[in-house]
């Protein structure tokens, strides 16, 4: 049974049983405590917690999920994967425990011919929470399971909570017995791979508080509306129904594994380590494909870092399989073909997805080449020092700074006959993980608990009137001070104010929040920020500037009209720039983020190289032509599917409902899904002035522009500068570029002559420096300050000349210091005789740099140190001579 067929049978069954079928939400969740949708229940958290009223009583879905907390187990067990699909059925205060158990058992055991999944009841085991007698009895009655196949387990496995105050409850898990060839008898309690968990039924029935840990809390009482939250792993069902040993061999994953086998020339099933690598490639390529399809792009932090890690682990695994060249063109195409029937976007958006994948692979292959060079130097230094172990700190630096995998470091070191201080490396990695976990806990603590807004959201959605009005009368529904609900806020306090209606725009879609005030009888509030803490609710962060505001009072929101007008200009101009980019660069130049505020826009887009000045001018001209043409700006509210059929551009990663707002500028020329505020015609934008273009990643570019009066002021300032230059240089405006180029050439020639003079002056000091040599133990030492020098290269050249003049028989150590461009520089050079006697230039340079308040190091024969404290040069040179004296002693 194909994976897609299993999913369809699931949806058909629950639709027949009165469930609304909803599409998968994005892997990019809008939950601020999570990077990704890590479980099927994530999109439904607001409904399960009661923060937002559920729009349906019962629902079923197939949800895309991504989890990397067990990434090291991928490929080693039959069930660990980073991307997976969760089949879920949900009840929000509708049916409960009995129906949830009945639905699960009926679907699992009904014959395939009748639309079921055709499991044999004798192969299924069940676990329940040890105190849940009701669930135990229901399984006996509904499924007819013997008591010995219903196992009672503790809170650590069979009790669900978020780890925060709120809803919780016992759960019941269904397991498939793979048979005695896979492990010991004894049921799921043995925790053996023989028993595969396929479905988890969560009975969300209690409210908990005083949470001391995920399994230690106080139960306040039963929830007023009991919920059902279930999840069945699609990949787990698929590998069982398809008769294969693990999820990597199912129909949506195996094609990538087979492609990796073909590229490597190695056999699958012949070697355990190779098999793990093949599975890692198959899993990570699919996960990367799905992340890219949801708008995530590789970067060094957040979601982009997770994607980058997955892609680089896949590249590393292919390398360990003997393939050193690029493979993503083949592997991603195969994964696309395996997933496109279920997720058509991987094919329709293939040009953009493949562009990112190939660029990231090329970048990492270059990183590997550079990392190997750095590692070779480290290995050489370890051998030269007579050691056999590469320090863990150097391996961690390669991993953390250069992205060079520890596995490859170990492999290269082993080939060189050396080892790596793995314990030190692991210690540094643990410290890094601990910092990341502490940060994640902090974010979860600060951001995840939105239950305080539940009572306000129960009044309904906040009505936003700002599309048509700049003032709106309303009433105060609630006030929060320091996160607690209060009756009133006093003069000078910072508070959150919840209103029934508002004309103030809440930050979203790249547009910053409106400025303005909220006024009422005897009070005035200055609006600091406007946000949407939960779906459908708008919260105003304010400072009480006059009087005091209380719950239930009348309130009028007043938008700063000038700021709103400039923000509308910027947001509409963003749409023009996006359309101009696509006109100029093609359809693969898609939006990857934006920021709009009064008079300014920033627009990120997918593109792998810098824009030429001619291209920038063309984009700017297209946008301003649209302004000149006074194109009509219209908005429509319509179903999402209809908007997409009309060609509306959607921002990847943005969450859209079934009904969306579509903004047209000039009809289909610019057509985007957008909830922001806009001008009514393009001429209102006034002017678009592109002021910057830069890189924000391997395949992302950013353009910045000023809009309206801000754009005019920038051009006026540039005009003033040009006027000043024409006056100062007494040159007509059209001849300025040539005149400035002439002056720059003259300056460069003068600087070259000065450098030659300074170098010649330094060279004339050569005899005096050689004569200044003094003996320190076995060494002939020159340690002198040169004053100022044109460049560090001049100092280096002179130090090498002095070293050579001292002769090969002498153990020559030369340390020359100088001030170069306001910074202190010390060059140390040693000859073979000195190095044999123990003088290492890199060590000596480092000791000098410490005195200068900087850093240094280098090779044993020549090295450089430096710092900001030029006055400490005598102390720096003394540090070198002291080090040599201690060696001599």
CB of 665 within 8 A of CB of 689? no
The CATH number that applies at residue 712 is 3.30.980.10
CB of 497 within 8 A of CB of 491? no
Tens-digit pLDDT profile for residues 211-256: 888 778 888 888 878 999 999 999 999 999 999 988 999 999 999 9
Average pLDDT in the 690-700 region? 84
Report how far apart the first and last C-alpha atoms of the chain are (Å, whole number).
81
Pick from 140-154, 276-290, 328-342, 637-651: least confident = 637-651
CA 138 from chain centre, in angstroms, equals 45
Domain stops at, among 449, 471, 488: 449
pLDDT computed for residue 119 by the predictor: 96
Annotated binding site for Zn(2+): which residue ranges?
571, 575, 674, 678
Tens-digit pLDDT profile for residues 43-77: 888 888 778 888 899 999 999 999 988 788 888 87
pLDDT computed for residue 449 by the predictor: 54
Average pLDDT in the 267-280 region? 93
Average pLDDT in the 669-696 region? 94
Q: How many angstroms separate the CA atoms of 752 and 758, rounded? A: 10
- Res 370 pLDDT > 60: yes
Domain stops at, among 379, 397, 414: 379
Pick from 296-305, 341-350, 610-619: least confident = 296-305
Pick from 189-198, 277-286, 492-501: least confident = 189-198
Average pLDDT in the 688-701 region? 86
The CATH number that applies at residue 133 is 3.30.930.10
Say if residue 405 is in the same domain as residue 437: yes
pLDDT computed for residue 614 by the predictor: 94
Say if residue 429 is in the same domain as residue 463: no
Say if residue 570 is in the same domain as residue 555: no
Q: Residue 385 — pLDDT band, cuts 50, 70, 90?
A: confident
Predicted structure pTM score: 0.69
- Res 98 pLDDT > 70: yes
Alpha-carbon dihedral sign for residues 540, 541, 545, 550: positive
- Res 657 pLDDT > 80: no
Q: Which residue has the higher pLDDT, 5 or 758?
A: 5
Contacts of 7 (CB under 8 A, 6+ apart): 62, 85, 87, 234, 342
Say if residue 536 is in the same domain as residue 569: no
pLDDT computed for residue 107 by the predictor: 97
CB of 867 within 8 A of CB of 848? no
CA 722 from chain centre, in angstroms, equals 43
- Written as one string, the DSSP assignment of 349-392 is THHHHHHHHHHHHHHHHHHHHHHHHHHHHHHHHHHHTT--EE-H
Q: Residue 511 has what DSSP assignment?
A: B
- As to burial, measured by CB atoms within 10 angstroms (0-12 exposed, 13-18 middle, 19+ buried), residue 166 is buried
Average pLDDT in the 76-87 region? 86
Counting residues of the chain whose pLDDT is more than 70, the rounded percentage is 96
Q: Residue 437 — pLDDT band, cuts 50, 70, 90?
A: low
Tens-digit pLDDT profile for residues 826-865: 999 999 999 988 899 988 998 898 888 888 878 889 999 8
Closest CA to 449 of 777, 211, 650, 789: 211
- Res 483 pLDDT > 90: no
Domain stops at, among 351, 379, 407: 379
Domain annotation covers residue 145: yes
Say if residue 693 is in the same domain as residue 824: no
**E strand or H helix at 856:** strand 856-858
Q: How many angstroms separate the CA atoms of 589 and 789, rounded? A: 49
- As to burial, measured by CB atoms within 10 angstroms (0-12 exposed, 13-18 middle, 19+ buried), residue 443 is middle
Q: Residue 477 — pLDDT band, cuts 50, 70, 90?
A: very high
Q: How many angstroms separate the CA atoms of 277 and 257, rounded? A: 9
Q: How many angstroms separate the CA atoms of 125 and 143, rounded? A: 11
Q: Residue 649 has what DSSP assignment?
A: B
Contacts of 711 (CB under 8 A, 6+ apart): 599, 686, 687, 688, 689, 705
Pick from 24-38, 344-358, 514-528: least confident = 24-38
Say if residue 408 is in the same domain as residue 423: yes
| Lookup: tokens for 9 | 């049978």
Domain annotation covers residue 236: yes
Counting residues of the chain whose pLDDT is more than 90, the rounded percentage is 57
Q: Which residue reads 């934006």 in tokens?
A: 594
Say if residue 172 is in the same domain as residue 183: yes
Annotated binding site: which residue ranges?
571, 575, 674, 678
Average pLDDT in the 719-728 region? 91
Residue 335 CB neighbours (<10 A): 26
Domain annotation covers residue 458: yes
Residue 167 backbone class (left: φ over 0; alpha: ψ -120 to 50; beta: rest): beta
What is the residue range of 820's domain?
765-888
pLDDT computed for residue 889 by the predictor: 63
- Res 8 pLDDT > 60: yes
CB of 443 within 8 A of CB of 32? yes
Say if residue 544 is in the same domain as residue 630: no
Say if residue 46 is in the same domain as residue 137: yes
pLDDT computed for residue 502 by the predictor: 97
CB of 246 within 8 A of CB of 239? yes
Alpha-carbon dihedral sign for residues 167, 170, 174, 179: positive
Residue 728 backbone class (left: φ over 0; alpha: ψ -120 to 50; beta: rest): alpha
Say if residue 92 is in the same domain as residue 208: yes
Structural domain count, the chain: 6
- Res 333 pLDDT > 90: yes
pLDDT computed for residue 428 by the predictor: 86
Query: Which range in 180-189, 298-307, 462-471 is most confidently predicted, on average pLDDT?
Result: 462-471
**E strand or H helix at 304:** helix 302-320
pLDDT computed for residue 299 by the predictor: 82
Domain annotation covers residue 311: yes
Tens-digit pLDDT profile for residues 724-738: 999 999 999 889 989
Strand partners, 595: 602
| Lookup: tokens for 885 | 């004296």
- The vertex-246 CA angle with 245 and 252, nearest 5°, equals 120
pLDDT computed for residue 195 by the predictor: 92
Q: How many angstroms separate the CA atoms of 699 and 363, rounded? A: 10
Q: How many angstroms separate the CA atoms of 34 and 68, rounded? A: 12
Tens-digit pLDDT profile for residues 747-791: 888 878 877 776 677 778 888 888 899 999 889 999 999 888 878
Say if residue 120 is in the same domain as residue 233: yes
| Lookup: tokens for 726 | 């024409």
| Lookup: tokens for 351 | 């040009």
Domain annotation covers residue 754: no
């Amino acid at each position: 049974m194909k994976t897609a067929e299993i999913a369809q049978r699931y949806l058909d069954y629950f639709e027949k049983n009165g469930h609304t079928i909803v599409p998968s939400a994005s892997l990019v969740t809008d939950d601020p405590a999570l990077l990704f949708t890590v479980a099927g229940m994530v999109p439904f958290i607001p409904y399960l917690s009661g923060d937002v009223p559920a729009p349906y009583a019962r629902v079923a879905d197939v949800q895309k999920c991504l989890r990397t907390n067990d990434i090291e187990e991928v490929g080693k067990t039959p069930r660990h994967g980073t991307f997976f699909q969760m089949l879920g059925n949900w009840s929000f205060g509708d049916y409960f425990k009995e129906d949830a158990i009945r639905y699960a058992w009926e679907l699992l055991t009904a014959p395939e011919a009748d639309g079921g999944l055709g499991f044999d009841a004798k192969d299924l085991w069940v676990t329940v929470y040890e105190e849940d007698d009701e669930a135990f009895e229901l399984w006996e009655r509904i499924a007819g399971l013997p008591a010995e196949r219903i196992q009672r387990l503790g809170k650590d496995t069979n009790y669900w909570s978020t780890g925060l105050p709120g809803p919780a409850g016992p759960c019941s898990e269904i397991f498939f017995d793979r048979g005695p060839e896979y492990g010991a008898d004894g049921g799921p309690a043995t925790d053996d791979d023989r028993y595969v968990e396929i479905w988890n039924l969560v009975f969300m029935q209690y409210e908990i508080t005083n949470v001391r840990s995920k399994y230690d809390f106080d139960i306040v009482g039963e929830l007023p509306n009991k919920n059902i939250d279930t999840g069945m792993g699609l990949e787990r069902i698929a590998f069982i129904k398809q008769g294969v040993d693990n999820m990597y061999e199912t129909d949506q994953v195996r094609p990538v594994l087979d492609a990796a086998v073909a590229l490597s020339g190695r056999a699958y099933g012949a070697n355990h380590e190779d098999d793990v690598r093949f599975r890692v490639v198959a899993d990570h390529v699919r996960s990367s494909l799905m992340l890219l399809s949801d708008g995530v792009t590789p970067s060094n932090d957040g979601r982009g870092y997770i994607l980058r890690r997955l892609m680089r682990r896949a590249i590393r695994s292919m390398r360990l399989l003997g393939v050193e060249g690029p493979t993503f063109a083949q592997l991603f195409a195969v994964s696309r073909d395996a997933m496109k029937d279920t997720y058509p976007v991987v094919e329709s958006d293939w040009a953009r997805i493949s562009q990112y994948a190939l660029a990231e692979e090329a970048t990492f292959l270059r990183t590997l080449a550079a990392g190997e060079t750095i590692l070779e130097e480290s290995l050489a230094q370890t051998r030269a020092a007579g050691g056999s172990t590469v320090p863990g700190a150097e391996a961690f630096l390669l991993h953390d700074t250069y992205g060079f995998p520890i596995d490859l470091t170990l492999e290269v070191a082993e080939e060189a006959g050396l080892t790596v201080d793995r314990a030190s490396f692991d210690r540094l990695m643990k410290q890094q993980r601990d910092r990341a976990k502490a940060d994640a806990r902090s974010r979860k603590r600060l951001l995840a608990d939105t239950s305080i807004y539940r009572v306000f959201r129960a009044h309904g959605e906040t009505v936003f009137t700002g599309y048509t009005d700049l003032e709106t009368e309303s009433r105060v529904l609630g006030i929060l001070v320091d996160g607690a609900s209060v009756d009133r806020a006093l003069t000078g306090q910072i508070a959150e104010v919840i209103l029934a209606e508002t004309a103030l725009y809440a930050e979203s879609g790249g547009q910053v929040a409106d400025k303005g005030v909220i006024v009422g009888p005897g009070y005035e509030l200055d609006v600091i920020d406007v946000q949407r803490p939960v779906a459908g609710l708008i919260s105003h962060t304010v400072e009480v500037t006059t009087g005091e505001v209380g719950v239930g009072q009348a309130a009028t929101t007043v938008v700063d009209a000038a700021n709103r007008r400039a923000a509308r200009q910027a947001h509409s101009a963003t749409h023009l720039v996006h359309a101009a980019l696509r006109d100029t660069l093609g359809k693969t130049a898609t939006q990857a983020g934006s920021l709009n505020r009064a008079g300014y826009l920033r627009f990120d887009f997918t593109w792998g190289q810098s824009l030429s000045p001619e291209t920038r001018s063309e984009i700017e001209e297209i946008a301003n032509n649209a302004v000149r043409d006074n194109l009509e700006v219209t908005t429509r509210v319509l179903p999402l599917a209809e908007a997409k059929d009309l060609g509306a551009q959607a921002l990847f990663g943005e969450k859209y409902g079934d009904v969306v707002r579509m903004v047209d500028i000039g009809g289909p020329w610019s057509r985007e899904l957008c909830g922001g505020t806009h001008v009514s015609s393009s001429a209102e934008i006034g002017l678009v002035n592109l002021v910057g273009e830069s890189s924000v990643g391997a395949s992302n570019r950013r353009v910045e522009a000023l809009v309206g009066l801000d754009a005019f002021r920038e051009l006026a300032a540039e005009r003033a500068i040009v006027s000043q230059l024409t006056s100062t240089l007494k040159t007509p405006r059209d001849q300025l570029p040539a005149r400035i180029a002439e002056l720059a050439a003259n300056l460069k020639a003068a600087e070259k002559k000065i450098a030659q003079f300074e170098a010649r002056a330094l060279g004339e000091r050569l005899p005096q420096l050689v004569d200044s040599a003094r003996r320190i133990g076995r060494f002939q030492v020159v340690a002198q300050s040169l004053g100022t020098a044109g460049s560090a290269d001049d100092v280096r050249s002179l130090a090498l000349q002095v070293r050579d003049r001292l002769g090969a028989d002498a153990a020559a150590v030369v340390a020359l210091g100088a001030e170069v461009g306001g910074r202190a520089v010390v060059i140390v050079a040693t000859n073979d005789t000195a190095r044999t006697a123990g003088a290492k230039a890199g060590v000596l340079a480092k000791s000098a740099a410490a005195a200068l308040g900087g850093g240094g190091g280098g090779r044993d024969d020549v090295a450089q140190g430096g710092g900001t404290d030029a006055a400490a040069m005598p102390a720096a040179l003394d540090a070198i001579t002291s080090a040599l004296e201690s060696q001599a002693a």
